[in-house]
Amino acid sequence: MFDLSDLNPQQREAVTTVDGPVLILAGAGTGKTRVITHRIAWMLHRGVAPGNILAVTFTNKAAREMLGRVRQLVPARRSREGRETERPTMCTFHSLGVRILRRHIEKLGYKANFTIYDDTEQLGVVKRLLATLSERDIKAKPQDVLAALSRLRNAPPDAELPVTQDGMALARHLRRRYETALRAANAVDFDDLILLPIRLFRAHADALEECRARYRYVMVDEYQDTNGAQFELVRALAVEHRNLCVVGDDDQSIYGWRGAEIANLLDFERHFPEVKVVLLEQNYRSTNTILTAANHVIRNNPRRRGKNLWSRHGEGRKIRLVSCAHDEAEAQWVVDEIELGRMSRAIPWGQQAVLFRTNQQSRPMEAALRRARVRYRIVGGQSFFDRLEIRDFLAYLKMLHQPDDDASLLRIANVPARGLSDVTLERLLGASQERQCSVFAAMRHTDVQEGLAVRTREALQKFILWVEETRQRLESIQAGQPLGPWAEGVLTEVGYWDHLRKSERNLEAAENRIRNLKELIAALDGPEAATGGTGPDRLAEGLADMALDTDRSSSSEKHGDEVTLITMHSCKGLEFPHVYIVGLEEGLLPHTRAKEEGTLDEERRLFYVALTRAMQTLTLSHCEGRKRYGQALPAQPSSFLRELPPELVEHEDAAARKPVASDTGKSLFAGMRDRVAQMGP
């Protein structure tokens, strides 16, 4: 018998309700991941075929964690050879799109070996399109145009998009040209990974029926974060068999600015009227003081599904609300508190987090932490795949997989330097546009080569020959043979290892970059990599997986004892024993734009998410003045602070901090002495 004894009654109801539409309203910290994994395990226990189960998440990390937990609950089925025969599909929306397109994209007129453009490559396309316009027509940054393009393409046809959004007018003007440019390179972007399957399903009923027959039980995590296109994709898969389970919390919907539609969750009954709604309210993270405060705040939102979080962790300490003179004083006060907690109560740095509304607020906090020699990390720093060497290597692999990928080719054509200057590459790009072909095709044109200087022509011909020979070696790799030696050879042949060592003044920094590349090469033949198929097929699959693995970090980045600095938007899903939320002032939270754009409810949800990250203690702070653009300006406390229950809040003035009493000081230093003694000589 499958054991559900560690679940509470509401969790058990969510786990065992399998057939028909189910809406699980999972409040913050109520164990939704446990519910999802137990629900999948329950279906497997009841005889549902693993291949018929689809669970969609928003991050690869969540998908991997989900798979790992399910394997612990239900051992994988294996063949006589010991291989796992079949397992449930647990992936992101984008990974699901890739799975569908790998089988069917040729029906939409694309070649099977399509390339996935990441944000940087998409931005390059936008910049090239903007370069064709007159300066007076360009009234937005390329990044804003790209963001507007994404929102425009994902929105339902009847959606009312904000006219004031930077770049929206240009996005409407450039949309068709942008899509044509990607199509010409046989490339798709992340939005296409959702939009193209929808187009496929509308035009090819056989493809839709095949997917429906495979995915007979569909689950979607973080449903409140889905956009219009994602909703349409899910609905297409589940509308006939109706076995759709969505898990989410409207009170934690904080991504409306990037297209998330909270209405997908609030109006779920409109599309599935027979839905079973299960409410998860028992919180396993925070004290009741923290939860009661959060409940009071979020009740001020008019349109929401009622929830009342509670826990068995007791009442806990009151919430501290501290008033500071200015942002530098605020930062210093927080750092002093962090150090006081560490010295007097042995609270490690790693158990403490500082949350803020905007990235700019981290500057004074970082400065104060540095002065105090407190180790810290900023969540949301540089991604593994944003590193220079990783981007270069992926561009080489993409170009060798698909030479018509202009963005990748232009990135590495002269890296390391091989005699193809920027001027030469601009001429080659112009030649490709004149001939309406790819840059690589233009490179091979005899008349194009004849227009170049002798040394440049020889360098170009040598490069073309190397590309063709390297692609032939890739094609000779058979099923079961490793890709790693071929990939490492690419970097050796072009001199990239030496290029890294010469370009880095610091030898250790160069070795770190080399280790990053070796890690990526190893991933091509890692346990999650495909082993069947030819070299080109496996490279295509590996590139797709890497393009989608946006939340990956280097395995060498182990987080030790360090304070976490994090924005409120980045903290969802995380928890910390001791939380400081700084900068709670009008104009920061709620943000100035909230009143202009009518998003005050979302700002309140953001505050709610921040409050519910705290497990044991919660400290809030605001300033009487704050520097903006180098100028000191007066500040008013956030209106959200008035929504906290007064009886749960202790007010403090940072400037009136009393010196540590002698008895406290003695115990503090006694504690320090004991810990030093424990460390040994």
81 CB contacts (<8 Å, ≥6 apart)? none
| CA geometry: angle 440, 188, 60, nearest 5 deg | 125
Euclidean distance between CA atoms 335 and 542, whole angstroms: 44
Beta bridge partners of 577: none
Q: Is the peptide bond before 590 cis (omega within 30 degrees of 0)?
A: yes
Q: Which residue has the tokens 């009143």?
A: 595
Euclidean distance between CA atoms 308 and 302, whole angstroms: 15
- Note whether 99 and 89 are within 8 A (CB): yes
- Marked catalytic residue, from 92, 122, 224, 252: 252
- Marked catalytic residue, from 16, 17, 33, 360: 33
Residue whose C-alpha is closest to residue 248's, from 54, 548, 14, 9 = 14
- Note whether 293 and 648 are within 8 A (CB): yes
Rg (CA), the chain: 28
- Note whether 280 and 24 are within 8 A (CB): yes
Question: Active site includes 160?
Answer: no
**Which of left, alpha, beta for 465 (phi over 0: left; psi -120 to 50: alpha)?**
alpha
**Burial class of residue 330, CB neighbours in 10 A (0-12, 13-18, 19+):** buried
Euclidean distance between CA atoms 273 and 250, whole angstroms: 18
Q: Is the peptide bond before 416 cis (omega within 30 degrees of 0)?
A: yes
DSSP 320: E
- Marked catalytic residue, from 222, 261, 281, 405: 222
Two structure tokens written together for 448: 């194009």
**Burial class of residue 32, CB neighbours in 10 A (0-12, 13-18, 19+):** buried
**What interhelical angle do 288-298 and 600-611 show, nearest 10?**
180
Beta-carbon-side half-sphere exposure of residue 25 (alpha carbons within 13 Å): 20
Phi first, then psi, for residue 634 (nearest 5°) are -65, 150
- Kindly report the three-state secondary structure assignment for every residue of 68-108: HHHHHHCCCCECCCCCECCCCEEEEHHHHHHHHHHHHHHHH
Two structure tokens written together for 173: 């003007």
**30 to 167, 296, 490, 655: CA distances (angstroms):** 39, 18, 49, 38
Question: Active site includes 642?
Answer: no
- Marked catalytic residue, from 69, 398, 613, 626: 613
Question: Active site includes 513?
Answer: no
- Marked catalytic residue, from 118, 179, 221, 330: 221
Question: Active site includes 127?
Answer: no
- Marked catalytic residue, from 32, 39, 69, 398: 32
Question: Hey, how many other C-beta atoms are within 10 angstroms of the C-beta on 386?
Answer: 13
Question: Active site includes 572?
Answer: no
Q: Give the distance, in angstroms, between the CA of residue 420 and the centroid of all CA atoms in the same chain.
A: 36
Q: Which residue has the tokens 């300006």?
A: 633
Q: Which residue has the tokens 């996935």?
A: 116
Question: Active site includes 658?
Answer: no
Two structure tokens written together for 131: 């370069």
β-strand pairing of 614-623 with 244-248: unpaired
Active site residues: 32-33, 221-222, 252, 613
